[in-house]
Amino acid sequence: MAIIAGAAIAGSLMLRAQMMTPNNKLRMAEAAISQLYVDTVNEDKLVEEAIRGMLESLDPHSVYSTPEETKELNEPLQGNFSGIGITFNMNKDTLYVIQTVAGGPSERIGVLAGDRIISVNDTSIAGVKMKNSDIMKRLRGPKGTKVNVKVLRRQNAATDTLDFVITRADIPIYSVDAAYMADPKTGYIRINRFAAETHKEVVKAIKDLKKQGMTQLILDLVDNGGGYLNAASDLLGELLEPGSLAVYTEGLNSPRYDLRARPSKRTPLFADGPLVVMVNQYSASASEITSGAIQDWDRGVIVGRRTFGKGLVQRPVPFPDGSMMRLTVAHYYTPTGRDIQKPYDKGDSKKYAKDILDRFNHGELMHADSIKYIDSLKVETLVSKRPIYGGGGIYPDRFVPLDTSENTLYYRKVMAKGLINQFVVGYVDSHRKKLLKEYKTAQDFTDRFSVSDDMLATLKEMADKEGVDYNAEQAERSRPLFAMVIKALIARDIYDNAAYFRVFNSYDPIYKEALRLINSPDEYKAILSK
């Protein structure tokens, strides 16, 4: 009977072949597999793999995500999640609290920086080599729910074990990492992503900096992988003249759509005054929209290296089970009409992923004369009529090479073992009170603190114990890099993320060139008037 039934189904499928369309064909294939296949089939997985297979034959940015993956993707862009409100690091299989979120549930109940959380809801998380993602699942949860944590706290020579019951709450995820005055007239703002709250955060940062005397601004988009299109156009509303075209999108099935600069108030917060935008090869998508519009309108100078080159717009297509397909529906274009999407071969995501490595191997990241400009994609800026190029990212107005001389094999091996983090955790544990007493502010710490020879010697001893082969020449060459990372991490642990970037920027070549250029008015103006 089974054979007869199977033959009947097959015959039915053959009769319907006369009405064949791609959609019907896909449904028939799934039906045939589920009803005729020799073994048990997981239909959900089968359909997911079919969707992934279809998308993989398209562009590199059309992707499918499971419900869990979708939640993880959306969380940083939505601006908050529910949890206990800590920033943590794993040090020797133990959760070490770096900071508590100001006003968050952990701070309110008395958890302190430096505490070690050793168990969650009676489940030990210390010394069991648990993944960060597994720990986060235990700490996060619906708003209003409670979680029991056991904390190990070291105070002077004593060690106390404390129990806390923490009520989870909405925890903000900030997209502005740092905002501070670089000098008496130069403000600095670093944005790590373009999310739902980015515009509000930047508006607050600009207002605060202007109160401190800011008349010129460095906007740091280095390593910023993008985010929401509207977040970029909203930000441009504060930097361009009202009504200026910020970006437009267009696709085969998506008619042209213009996004214009619309400030939160009638007058943009910073449409005048020198502006430098920092970018690198990992600045993508909304970062390229922002830097591209600023360049097109001759509003500011772009400093760094050619950006990633993502000029495709994805539309979320949610499914009832919480999964989602992000489907490319259009290209976006800068105000001059530049399509900055780098070339790709459909279905060849591996080659696309190797692009940055290829740039490195070809010398483009280290030498300005290795950058290839495509004359057919040359356009003129909208005000000064100076030449700029499309097709593969935003090309900087002032190139800053990547310097890898201090990034030695010895340094990378020490980093790979997590030894710098371990050292910093131990150092801050022993010196927190002393550091806060001696350095009242993050700027004071940045100006006066230095990493000692003894500190570096202790790090070497830790590396020796972990079996890292010592190389004296490489260790000496990497000395400034070791010292900077240690100092920056201490600053973050003692103060906040902004303190980390105060230290890091004093070392970073892109930042140093941006600061030099913005304080060289004749050179700045010359770039914009070429």
CB contact burial 269-287 (16+ within 10 A = b; e otherwise): bbbeebbbbbbbbebbbbb
**CA 25 – CA 299 distance, rounded (Å):** 53
Q: Which two tokens stand for residue 329?
A: 């529906």
Active site positions, annotated: 285, 296, 310
Task: Let me know the angle formed at the C-alpha of 73 by 105 and 145, rounded to the nearest 5 degrees.
Answer: 30
Q: What pLDDT sits at residue 351?
A: 85
Give the residue carrying structure tokens 């998308």: 55
Please report which residue ranges of 86-160 form alpha helices under DSSP H.
Answer: 105-109, 132-139
Q: Kindly give the confidence (pLDDT) of every residue in the chain, 530 residues in length, as a single tens digit, with 9 standing for 90 and above.
A: 444 455 555 555 555 555 667 778 888 888 888 888 888 888 888 888 888 888 889 988 999 998 888 887 777 777 667 889 888 877 777 888 888 887 788 888 888 888 889 889 988 888 777 777 788 888 888 889 999 989 888 766 567 888 899 999 888 888 999 999 999 999 999 999 999 999 999 999 999 999 999 999 999 999 999 999 999 999 999 999 999 999 999 999 999 999 999 877 778 999 999 999 999 999 999 999 999 999 999 999 999 999 999 999 999 999 998 999 999 999 999 999 999 898 888 878 888 888 988 898 989 999 988 888 888 889 999 999 999 998 889 999 999 999 999 999 999 999 988 899 889 988 998 898 899 999 999 999 999 999 999 999 999 999 999 999 999 999 999 999 999 999 999 999 899 889 999 999 999 999 999 999 999 999 999 999 97
Could you tell me which of 103, 102, 96, 104 has the C-alpha nearest to residue 132? 96
Strands (E), 340-430: 378-380, 387-389, 398-399
DSSP letter, residue 375: G
Q: What pLDDT sits at residue 10?
A: 55
Contacts with 353 (C-beta within 8 Å, 6 or more apart), sequence order: 60
Q: Count other C-beta atoms under 10 Å from residue 156's C-beta.
A: 6
**CA 98 – CA 78 distance, rounded (Å):** 24
Give the residue carrying structure tokens 């404390």: 162
Could you tell me which of 509, 308, 522 has the C-alpha nearest to residue 403? 509
Q: What pLDDT sits at residue 290?
A: 97
Q: Count other C-beta atoms under 10 Å from residue 81's C-beta.
A: 19
What letter represents residue 435's amino acid? L
Q: What pLDDT sits at residue 1?
A: 43
